[in-house]
């Protein structure tokens, strides 16, 4: 008969097992509700007589530390004090910070079915140590999807599977540094965390000013990080002229453009702008993930890498030992191949389109195009940003400011605003969250940049 493993340090003497069990329970090493092995199983594991185990269990049951029922076994009792009188219910807290989708939209049934289906059919080899670039079945599915849905020029050999965009950026920064790149240009404003990831891998960062046409072309950088389809956080699209200028810069200087397509599937007024990578696959790395389309907790993304960077990137994967688990790779490949991923994105797009329109109707002027999972509301000053954040906190709103979150390369920049993550709340909380936000912003000093 088999049971759970249980480690006990048993000394000499007839009461040794009883004392060891008592210590494990009182110290919390065996928490309340833990099912203990049967007496016969534990006796065999410890090399003691079954009667010794029966006596030890009986004593601890008598002390109230264990609970035993015929046919159900023995488990650790809950000896905690009864809870105090319930507190009055707290005011609802609404999370409107950017960076996450509505996790309630995650297609759990589709995902569970995909995991079950693919694991049942998986070969032994697919569960072994695999190609650091990722399972071929997923790389093929990603290449097909990106070619069709985002206009990327790719085949399976160019795809590297990552555990999300940040992981991909760390790999690229390390690979670029090993190839001699000492400075990477990043958008200003842009995520401070991305700058930190780049610097941790070796290269320095330099700001690329962002205006209504997107980021400015760099000088003195060997690579750049862009969000061309929907700049984060301003929400503008990289203009055709700037797209051509960046590609021209990359060709002339041998530079690399890292294209972060973090929410490129979500455009609400027209079809999403195509990938910059299609203009020059030899100089652009296309990077995407499932963090905005499905859920960040999946920890799954991809890079489409030019030939000259493939070996350095795979060397970085090998050096860090960071790869994505086979079950997740098999499941997402299945969703892509069956069209379930596309159908989910379409459903989510309808939800977010409606929320974005409702947000725009209540708050004006929002910066940027109707796209993505966030919108920027410009404010008159840093002081006004802090006042609104404090008022929001008092009203039960979790908000994010552009200056307080470190989006500017320089702390002296005067432009301020809220980055509103309208996709974050669950569907049932969206309208109350919007009402609370509108109330907090009533009379706020709004100033377009």
Q: Dump pLDDT digits (tens) for 291-348.
A: 999 999 999 999 999 999 999 999 999 998 888 999 999 999 999 999 999 999 999 9
Written as six digits, the tokens of 50 are 């079954």
Written as six digits, the tokens of 293 are 């389309």
Phi, then psi, of 397 in degrees rounded to 5: -110, 130
| Cβ pair 398, 379 in contact under 8 A | no
Can you give the pLDDT at residue 386?
97
pLDDT band at 5 (very low <50, low <70, confident <90, very high): confident
| Closest alpha carbon to 131 in 357, 349, 314 | 314
Give the separation between CA 360 and CA 365, rounded to whole angstroms.
8
Please name the residue that has the structure tokens 């996790």. 103
Task: Evaluate if residue 250 carries a pLDDT over 90.
Answer: yes
Average pLDDT, the chain: 94
Please name the residue that has the structure tokens 């404003």. 189
Taking residue 420's Cβ as centre, other Cβ atoms within 10 Å add up to 27
Can you give the pLDDT at residue 178?
96
pLDDT 10s digits, 19-69: 999 999 999 999 999 999 999 999 888 888 999 999 999 999 999 999 998
Q: For the chain, give the percent of residues with pLDDT over 90.
A: 84
Task: Please report how many Cα atoms fall inside a 13 Å half-sphere around the Cα of residue 26, on the Cβ side.
Answer: 9
Is the link from the previous residue into 125 a cis peptide, with omega within 30 of 0?
no
Give the separation between CA 270 and CA 273, rounded to whole angstroms.
9
Give the separation between CA 96 and CA 433, rounded to whole angstroms.
8
Give the separation between CA 387 and CA 366, rounded to whole angstroms.
19
The neighbouring-strand residues paired with 371 are: 267
* Domain with residues 106-341, CATH architecture: 3-Layer(aba) Sandwich (3.40)
pLDDT band at 81 (very low <50, low <70, confident <90, very high): low
Mean pLDDT of 362-379: 94
Task: Evaluate if residue 86 carries a pLDDT over 90.
Answer: no
Written as six digits, the tokens of 132 are 């650091």
**Domain ranges within the chain, ordered by starting residue:** 16-76, 94-102+350-441, 106-341
pLDDT band at 14 (very low <50, low <70, confident <90, very high): low
CATH assignment, 16-76: 1.10.10.10
Q: What angle do CA 25, 30, 36 make, to 5 degrees?
A: 100
DSSP letter (8 states) at residue 267 = B
Taking residue 236's Cβ as centre, other Cβ atoms within 10 Å add up to 20
**For residues 347 and 448, which has the higher predicted lDDT (pLDDT)?**
347
Taking residue 159's Cβ as centre, other Cβ atoms within 10 Å add up to 25
Task: Evaluate if residue 1 carries a pLDDT over 50.
Answer: no
Task: Evaluate if residue 2 carries a pLDDT over 60.
Answer: no
Q: Give 395's contacts (C-beta < 8 A, 6+ positions apart).
A: 436, 439, 440
| Cβ pair 169, 287 in contact under 8 A | yes
Taking residue 228's Cβ as centre, other Cβ atoms within 10 Å add up to 26
Can you give the pLDDT at residue 364?
79
The SS3 assignment for 293 reads: coil
Task: Evaluate if residue 112 carries a pLDDT over 50.
Answer: yes
Can you give the pLDDT at residue 102?
98
Q: Can you give the pTM of this predicted structure?
A: 0.89
Can you give the pLDDT at residue 8?
85
Q: Is the Cα dihedral 265, 270, 274, 275 positive or negative?
A: negative
Which residue pairs from 59-63 have beta carbons closer than 8 angstroms and sit at least 24 positions apart in sequence?
Answer: 59/18, 60/18, 60/21, 60/22, 60/25, 63/22
The SS3 assignment for 94 reads: strand
Phi, then psi, of 220 in degrees rounded to 5: 85, 10
CATH assignment, 94-102+350-441: 3.90.1150.10
Give the separation between CA 30 and CA 259, rounded to whole angstroms.
49
| Cβ pair 275, 264 in contact under 8 A | yes
Equal fold, 16-76 vs 106-341:
no
**16-26 helix and 50-62 helix, angle to the nearest 10 degrees:** 40
């Amino acid at each position: 008969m088999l049971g759970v493993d249980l480690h006990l340090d048993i000394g000499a003497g007839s009461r040794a097992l009883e004392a060891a069990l008592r210590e494990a329970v009182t110290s919390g090493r065996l928490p309340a509700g833990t099912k203990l092995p049967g007496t016969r199983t534990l006796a065999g594991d410890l090399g003691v007589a079954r009667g010794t185990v029966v006596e030890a269990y009986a004593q601890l049951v008598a002390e109230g530390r264990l609970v035993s029922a015929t046919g159900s076994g023995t488990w650790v009792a809950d000896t905690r004090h009864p809870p105090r009188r319930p507190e009055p219910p707290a005011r609802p807290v609404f999370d409107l910070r950017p960076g996450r989708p509505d996790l309630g939209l995650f297609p759990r049934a589709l995902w569970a079915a995909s995991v079950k289906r693919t694991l049942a059919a998986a070969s032994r080899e697919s569960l072994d140590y695999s190609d650091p670039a990722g399972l071929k079945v997923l790389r093929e599915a990603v290449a097909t999807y990106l070619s069709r849905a985002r206009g990327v020029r790719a085949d399976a050999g160019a795809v590297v599977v990552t555990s999300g965009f940040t992981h991909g950026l760390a790999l690229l920064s390390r690979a670029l540094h090993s190839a001699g790149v000492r400075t990477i240009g990043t958008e200003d404003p842009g995520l401070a965390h991305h700058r930190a990831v780049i610097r941790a891998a070796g290269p320095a960062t330099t700001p690329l000013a962002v205006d209504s046409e997107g980021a400015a072309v760099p000088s003195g950088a060997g690579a750049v990080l862009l969000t061309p389809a929907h700049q984060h956080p301003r929400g503008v699209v990289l203009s055709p002229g700037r797209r051509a200028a960046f590609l021209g810069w990359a060709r002339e200087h041998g530079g690399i453009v890292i294209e972060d397509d973090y929410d490129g599937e979500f455009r609400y007024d027209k079809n999403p702008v195509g990938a910059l990578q299609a203009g020059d696959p030899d100089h652009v790395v296309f990077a995407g993930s499932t963090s905005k389309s499905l859920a960040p907790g999946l920890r799954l993304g991809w890079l489409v890498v030019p030939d000259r960077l493939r070996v350095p990137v795979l060397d970085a994967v090998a050096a860090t030992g960071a790869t994505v688990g086979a079950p997740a790779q098999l499941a997402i490949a299945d969703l892509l191949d069956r069209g379930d991923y596309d159908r989910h994105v379409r459903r989510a797009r309808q939800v977010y389109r409606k929320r974005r329109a409702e947000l725009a109707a209540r708050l004006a002027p929002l910066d940027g195009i109707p796209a993505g999972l966030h919108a920027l509301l410009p404010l008159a000053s840093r002081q006004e940003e802090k006042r609104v954040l404090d008022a929001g906190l008092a009203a039960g709103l979790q908000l994010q400011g552009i200056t307080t979150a470190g989006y500017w390369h320089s702390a002296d920049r005067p432009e301020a605003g809220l980055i509103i993550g309208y996709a974050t709340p669950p569907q049932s909380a969206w309208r109350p969250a919007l009402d609370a936000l509108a109330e907090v912003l009533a009379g706020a000093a709004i100033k377009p940049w």
